[in-house]
Chain A
Amino acid sequence: MDFTREELMAVAAAREINDGEVAIIGTGLPMIAAYLAKKTHAPKACLFFESGIIGAFPNELAIGVGDFRLLSNCVKASGLYYALSLIQGGYVDLGFLGAAEIDPYGNINSTVIGDYSHPKVRLPGSGGANDIASLAKRFVVIVPHEKRKFPPQCHYITTPGYLDGPEGRKSAGLRGGGPTRVITNLAVMGFEPASKRMQIESLHPGISLAEVQENTGFELLVSEALTETQVPSEEQLHLLRNVIDPEGVYI
């Protein structure tokens, strides 16, 4: 069966959402993945957006979390502070984040490349990412697999992973559980339980360990249970292509 890397990533991301969970969703692939999960194994999952839109079933795909398309069919329209306070209040199981850079402990940069006050590139900044990573019970990162995006140290830590190791979050006073998965176009990674360093858990079909390592700026650990990433089913591909994103906005 033919499928694209984006479709494989969307299916892998969808698998992270369990039925009945409350998930905070961002723009792009997570949006597709979340709707796929709702239409397959997790019909009772509640999806909401940091913009304050809760339980949205849009008639057409939105270009962002503030898009009116999400508003025209949702169960609650509120505000950003309310939405993020739900995470601090402990109501949210997981969130999805992107990254300009991610380090071995899952810390994320989305603020600057270069010096903070005179950066080479000024990026958009945290937004709700730091809040989601600080507070949600767990979070999943989706990022293209390129060496410069996986440096040994980020230029700036916008969003906390495990900070400097297993005790990092606790000693900073952070509540949430931290990152559990990093999904890329080459592999799915997790974090080794003792050291909280990133480890490869499954390789996408046709990808070797060496290829993943070559595209990573630090040494990756390898899970003892290393497998191949589960490929999309015919039903999943049908839903992605014909129902969720028929115009190919994100996939």
Chain B
Amino acid sequence: MYNPKPDTTYGAKEQLSQNKVLSIKKAVELISDGDNLTISGFAHSLAPIALVREIIRQGRKNLALTSMGECWAADLLSGAGCLSKVRLSNYMFEGFGRCMNFSRAVQQGDLEVEDYSHFGITSRLFASALGISYIPTKVMAGTDIVKKVTFDKDKSLVANCPFTGEKHLLVKAIEPDVAIIHASRADEEGNTQLFGMTSIIDEQARASKKVIVSVEEVVPTDVIAQRPELTLLPSFVVDAVVEIPYGAHPAGMFRYYNYDHKHIQYYWDQSRQEESFKEYLGKYVLEPHDHWKYLEMIGIPRLMDLRADPYLGY
């Protein structure tokens, strides 16, 4: 985390108890109206969608997103009217089409946007993770990404390197209020492991003031220690752990379950119109009052069918 206030200590976090396991409801209560969130997700994996559904059920408002490509969180939260502004580099339902709720909200003028490139926005998070106030990059220069500024008045700055004189684009550190991450497994203290690609989870978590991690399974620390190379986040970066099997559904988790192609297609079709999306929202987000009810609606045959083949991992 980057803390711009000089009178506080870098890296100091409010110490929670060693056992950080919370219920879905309690974890989402750590999020306040108006918070700037950064949420994990790359295409149809790593998305903490069960937590996002709970954010909608708890009625959080005026949220901001600082995002790279977390299409699922962005589209659900846009469609439910929870967002007021977003920084993004790309929202796309890979293999299906545009994020229709997000696009509609922007087209109707309901959502303020600030565009970045993937490397540009992640560099802002990385600077915060390193505890420095900015970072030089070689991307975005000369384009409308830099020229069109909405709410990030100090989005970037062109400056010459003090050593070589080379021109760089500087981007400022950004410290989200809460990072919401879905990973494979963690212990009760928050040591978090991930199989497969890691998206920008490390940068998001280390950049943020608070970190909520949902995982497919909570495991003993011994299990973590058997494969330490899989640990993405050490416990002291993480504030809360929530055990949510199928917590990314309808997205997938490598080595646990494949993404649910049929449900994603259904979601995407429903999201094309505001009316039909409201039906989806009622049926799959608001009415099932918790995650277990949601999984019941999806049904055991489908959940079994999605389970990963141990050899392929999906």
Contact = CB atoms under 8 A, between A and B. Distances in A.
Interface of A: 27, 50-53, 59, 63-69, 71-72, 77-81, 84-85, 88, 107, 111, 116-131, 134-135, 156-160, 163, 168-169, 171-175
B144 A158 contact: yes
A119 B89 contact: no
30 contacts: A52-B198, A64-B44, A64-B94, A68-B312, A68-B314, A78-B197, A79-B199, A80-B69, A80-B197, A81-B200, A111-B144, A116-B144, A116-B148, A121-B107, A122-B98, A125-B90, A125-B91, A127-B69, A127-B89, A128-B118, A130-B145, A134-B141, A156-B144, A158-B143, A158-B145, A160-B143, A172-B167, A173-B142, A173-B166, A174-B141
B299 interface: no
Contacts of B143: 107, 130, 157-160, 163
A102 to B, nearest CB: 14
A79 B202 contact: yes
Instruction: Give the interface size bracket for B toward A.
Output: 35 or more
A157 B144 contact: yes
Interface in B277-314: 312-314
B142 A172 contact: yes
A173 B165 CA distance: 11
Contacts of B203: 79, 81
Contacts of A71: 196-197, 254, 313-314
A81 B126 contact: yes
Given A128-B119, A173-B168, A66 B201 contact: no
Interface string B160-178: 0000001111000000000
Contacts, number: 190
Greatest chain A CB density within 10 A among B43, B95, B119 is at B119
A248 to B, nearest CB: 15
Contact of B197 (A27, A66, A123, A127): A66
Contact of A84 (B95, B122, B150, B169): B122
A80 B119 CA distance: 8
Contact of B106 (A119, A131, A156): A119
B196 A77 contact: yes
Which label, helix, strand, loop or mixed, suits the secondary structure of the A interface?
Answer: loop
B139 interface: yes
Would you list the 4 A-B pairs with minimal beta carbon distance, nearest first? A172-B142, A173-B167, A66-B43, A64-B94
Contact of A81 (B94, B98, B119): B119
Given A126-B90, A130-B117, A130-B120, A63 B141 contact: no
B58 to A, nearest CB: 27
Greatest chain B CB density within 10 A among A65, A66, A160 is at A66
Given A117-B150, A173-B169, A131 B117 contact: yes
A93 to B, nearest CB: 17
Nearest to B92: A124
B133 interface: no
A27 B95 contact: yes
A51 B199 contact: yes
Contacts of A129: 117
